[in-house]
Amino acid sequence: MDDNLKEQFVHAIFRFRKSGMTLPAEFDIRITELFLLRSISANISHPNKSVHVSVIQNKLHITKPAVSQMLNSLEKRGYVKREMDKDDRRKIAVTLTSAGEEILKKAQEYFNLRLEATISRFGVENTKQITHLFNLLADINEDLKS
């Protein structure tokens, strides 16, 4: 296999990762925290408007320690609240605070505008194609890991 192609491929991956989407400092959250807040908001099914940590972990495909670390950070800033589930004391229920709902709304608006601008410049067909290729690449990497 062409060593130059391998080098270009790795370089492109690192360049893309480095240039990845970020939120301006005024939002006070990282992009990964935005996705966690979105996951909490989208998966609230409990009567007290909470979601279990295990549900978040499964939806985002990240480790339990990573979820805990992000929740610690978000809780310190007043965006989420964690409590032991009253129905199942082995589980932790997470709720968004009003500050969390507000930062989520603002950050989502910014993120959506940024995505629309990116897709507009990149093109719908290119976006569909690269989405397919990224998913294919992720599938191959996951398959090679196992």
Tens-place pLDDT, residues 33-87 = 998 999 888 877 655 667 777 778 878 888 888 989 999 999 999 999 988 877 7
125 CB neighbour count, 10 Å cutoff: 8
List, for residues 73-89, the tens digit of each pLDDT value: 999 999 999 888 777 77
pLDDT of residue 46: 56
Does 28 or 88 have the greater pLDDT score?
Answer: 28
Residue 28 has pLDDT above 60, yes or no: yes
Characterize the bridge pairing of strands 92-96 and 80-84.
Answer: antiparallel
Strand partners, 94: 51, 82
Between CA 63 and CA 27 the distance in angstroms is: 25
Q: Averaged over 30-35, what is the pLDDT?
A: 90
Q: 25-145 is classed in which CATH architecture?
A: Orthogonal Bundle (1.10)
Per DSSP (E only), the strands in the chain are: 51-52, 80-84, 92-96
**What single-letter amino acid sits at 144?**
L
Interatomic CA distance for residues 14 and 57, integer angstroms = 25
Domain edges within the chain: 25-145
Counting DSSP H helices and E strands in the chain, the numbers are 6, 3
